[in-house]
Chain A
Amino acid sequence: MKKSLLGLFGVIMMVLLAACGGEDGTENTSGDADNDTDGGTGGDITLRIAWWGDQSRNDYTLEVIEMFEEQNPHITIEAEYAGWDDYWQRLAPQAAANELPDIIQMDLSYISQYADNGQLADLEPFFGEQIDISDIAENTIEAGRINDGIYGFNLGSNVLSTHYNPEILAEIGIDEMPERYSWDEYQEMAELAANADYIFDTGMQSDVFFNLYLRQHDGRLYAEDGNGLGYEDDQLFVDFFTIIKEQVDSGATPSPDETAQYAGPEDSPVMKGEGVAVHQWSNQYVGIQEMNEDINFEIAPPPGEELEKGLFLKPSMYFSISENSDHKEAAAEFIDFWANDIEANKIILGERGVPVSSIVQEELSTEVDAAQAKVFEYVTWAEENSTPMGAPDPSGAGEIIELLGNLSEQIAYGEVTPEDAAAHFRTQAESILGN
């Protein structure tokens, strides 16, 4: 009796162990889509889709998935979603194990890495078949091109912009934000703010705005072939980061040790009505407008006289299909639904960037709220006042971004001169990209 009890106990232990081991594979599926979709007729095809995002994005994406499943009863979709960091940390091992989801939300800075390593499927064979691209501009589609194929379906466009508070702008003595202003004029305006004890802006994300500056001077951050830097003259580096440093020194931009204290963007002086502007991507406008509804932010182009050369439409994100997917056609149908279905886009409301289909854009213009409409308007203006983006970021872009971020921090702290940083950046970046 005693022994059989012991035996039972032993078996239970083993089962527990096995259960613990097996769970690792499934617990990652943080979505509850299983419960929603497994009922009913049961699909012949099961697709997995993965994205990063916050709660509101998760909610509406699940809604769109449900809508798609209703119209395509033979397809069941399982959702896997996470925050930005966790998302990429989970995707990499999945890629190594050939277990990528069928549909993957991709970002500009990672798409080369995945496409170059043969993880993504070329979408061109699906165009005109499953995916209708007749209402989508060619530039928009081409933004997903890596070498010989389209490896990401562009979901929407973003443009660099300056979001400013007109009241504070008036208070420092500027009636209106000029549509086009040189970097010198930018520094003059910033000085007015500093003299009036306001900050002018919260700084610029180094990789994004250095790239803008380089484009305005006929270069770009990465070479078109991705094997090196896209500018020859290190003086450009010195000039740009000298501007950034002078901004910090004059008090027009908060110092890095001050910004490090902020818990989030809501702590920045601009959000508290103590500063003029934030330089960021156009889709981020909606977020700051929601954060503080007492301020009516306006959208203007970023600094630099060569406006058109600098500006470009950046794919806010892509949907890619994984090469190891067994149901590429079904995955392509979902992408088509996402891009072209009016009802679906009335739920999405441009949250992933201004819709790519001109028909959808038109239909939506009456649906979106005032803030979103302003973003649509700015992006439409930018379509006419920008130049092509060029090749997407190469593999290793993540490391370059971090390297440049560290150097720009050291410059702002006065640990290194812009000249030394420029040389260091070139050596390091070329060794990273050369690999």
Chain B
Amino acid sequence: MQTHMKQNLWGYLFISPFIIGFLAFTIVPMIASLYFSFTSYNLFNPPEWIGFANYIEMFTSDPRYIQSLKVTFIYVLAGVPLQLVSALFVAMLLNTASRAVGLYRTVYYLPSLIGGSVAVAIMWRNIFGDEGIINLALQGLGLDPVRWFGNPTAALWMLIFLAIWQFGSSMLIFLAGLKSIPQSYYEAASVDGGSYFQKFFHITLPMLSPVILFNTVMQTIGTFMTFVPAYVISKGTGGPLDGTLLYSLYLFKQGFEFFHMGYASAMAWVILVVIAVITSLIFYSSKFWVHYESEGGR
């Protein structure tokens, strides 16, 4: 009994860094922010209780809030699927045996490591600038250069391209998933005369569906919370014409530029609920398309 207790104690000791950190830096601030979301709080004066006024204002009298929701949904709906498709595509290329696969894996994973950084966002500004490589290429093809930063739609797509480019982590997970599909399935399909596409749609996709679910959920959550690229590329404005005003950028502006901490907290809670709902919808839908091998014999 005593050894058992002692062992537990050791266990708690080892997870204590996480537990303490989680309590102090996640749970406590979250509770504080929930309280602030029902107050008018400008950081200087004590918060003043105003009930649901922040939440009501958001949806009734703040057109920029609605705009930021719209921009964020377009960003997620376009960015996540495109990113997953490119991740899967590259993963399948890398799954073919080649001596340089290790090198390629690293090269394609690199953007994910650095993609969220300020340096990359600045590089992106240069790539899409007037004399950037994209516009030079367009001109080379005889097309008109695009003012990527001046056109609200183009500016958002520039951000989406940046999100797609960071497909590395999904790619690695896909790659692991692909490796775990037994070769014998493909061999059996070949014996039966299955084509490449039949193999892809009837073996690869179903076998990979749990991994697709995982990647979809992780990427959706991450993409909803994107901040740095929008901030750097629009120079902190969310412009042009609020075309790149992603949700977290607007939240940041409300909190730290306009000192509406209560409003910003309320925004944070709304997006938490939105992400939770969307995530559970994805999970709910999964029973129609995710195939688990263990259930196969049921």
Indicate which residue in B17, B45, B239 contacts A260 across the interface (CB closer than 8 Å). Answer: B239
The complex places the Cα of A10 from the Cα of B259 at a distance, in Å, of: 41
Query: How far does the alpha carbon of A341 sit from the alpha carbon of B253 in the complex, in Å?
Result: 40
By the criterion CB–CB under 8 Å, are A257 and B150 in contact? yes
Q: Across the interface, do B240 and A257 meet the contact criterion of CB distance under 8 Å?
A: yes
- Check A5 for interface membership: any CB of B closer than 8 A: no
Query: Which of A17, A85, A118, A261 makes the CB contact (< 8 A) with B147?
Result: A261
**Is B17's CB under 8 angstroms from A117's CB?**
no
**How far does the alpha carbon of A261 sit from the alpha carbon of B17 in the complex, in Å?**
46
CB distance from B174 to the nearest CB of A (A): 33
Is B289 in the interface zone, CB < 8 Å from A? no
B20 contacts partner chain A, Cβ-Cβ < 8 Å: yes
Question: Is A409 interfacial (CB 8 A cutoff)?
Answer: yes
Please give me the residue from chain B that is nearest to A96 by CB atom. B43
Query: Which chain B residues in 137-174 approach chain A with CB under 8 Å?
Result: 147-151, 155
Binding site for A on B (CB under 8 A): 10, 13-14, 16-17, 20-21, 24, 42-45, 125-126, 129-130, 147-151, 155, 236-237, 239-242, 253, 256-259
Contacts of A406 in B (CB 8 A): 239, 241-242
State the majority secondary structure of interface residues on B. loop
- Separation of A406 and B152 alpha carbons in the complex (Å): 13
Please pick, from A13, A95, A409, the residue contacting B44 in the complex, using a CB distance under 8 A.
Answer: A95
Knowing A257-B147, A409-B240 touch, does A399 contact B21 (C-beta < 8 A)? Answer: no
Verify A16–B240 contact, CB threshold 8 A: no
- 1/0 contact string of A243-266 vs chain B (CB within 8 Å): 000000000000111111101000
Contact B149–A261 (Cβ < 8 Å):
yes
**Assuming A16-B17, A21-B24, A263-B129, is B257 touching A256 (CB within 8 A)?**
no
List B contacts of A125 (CB < 8 A).
none
Check: A45 CB closer than 8 A to any chain B CB: no
Number of A-B pairs, beta carbon distance below 8 Å: 82
A window 378-435: CB within 8 A of B: 396, 398-399, 402, 405-406, 409-410, 413, 415
Judge whether A14 and B16 touch: CB under 8 Å: yes
Q: Which residue among A85, A92, A113, A409 has the maximum number of chain B CB atoms within 10 Å of its CB?
A: A92
CB pair B240–A413 under 8 Å, yes or no, is yes
| A409 in contact with B239 given A17-B20, A92-B256, A92-B259 (CB within 8 Å) | yes
Most B C-beta atoms less than 10 A away, residue of A6, A255, A399: A399
Interface residue ranges of A83-99 to B (CB < 8 Å): 85, 88-89, 92-93, 95-96
Residue of B nearest to A95 (CB): B44
Q: A261-B148, A398-B258, A413-B240 are in contact. Are A96 and B125 (CB under 8 A)?
A: no
In the complex, the answer to whether A409 meets B256 with C-beta atoms within 8 Å is: no
Q: Which residue of A lies closest to B64 (CB)?
A: A406
**Contact A256-B240, Cβ < 8 Å, known A10-B14, A92-B256:** yes
* Chain A interface size, under 10 / 10 to 19 / 20 to 34 / 35 or more: 35 or more
What is the CB-to-nearest-CB distance from A121 to chain B, in angstroms, rounded to a whole number? Answer: 15
A119 interface residue (CB < 8 Å to B): yes
> Nearest-CB distance from A82 to chain B (Å)?
13
Contact, CB under 8 Å: A95 / B20: no
Min C-beta distance of A245 to chain B, whole Å = 15
A113 to B44, CA, bound (A): 9
Interface flags for A53-97 (1: CB within 8 Å of B; 0: not) read 000000000000000000000000000000001001100110110
How far, in whole Å, are A327 and B17 apart by their CA atoms in the complex? 39
Contact A92 B43 (CB under 8 A): yes
Q: Which residues of A contact B151 (CB under 8 A)?
A: 257
Contact with B along A155-168 (1 / 0, CB 8 A): 00000000000000
Q: How far is the CB of B271 from chain A (nearest CB, A)?
A: 20
Asked if B259 contacts A113 (CB within 8 A), the reply is yes
Query: What A residues does B20 contact at CB under 8 A?
Result: 17
What would be 7 A-B contacts, judged by CB atoms less than 8 Å apart?
A17-B16, A17-B17, A92-B259, A255-B150, A260-B149, A260-B240, A413-B240
Chain A residues with CB under 8 A of B125: 263
Q: Which 3 A-B pairs have the closest CB atoms?
A: A257-B150, A117-B44, A260-B149
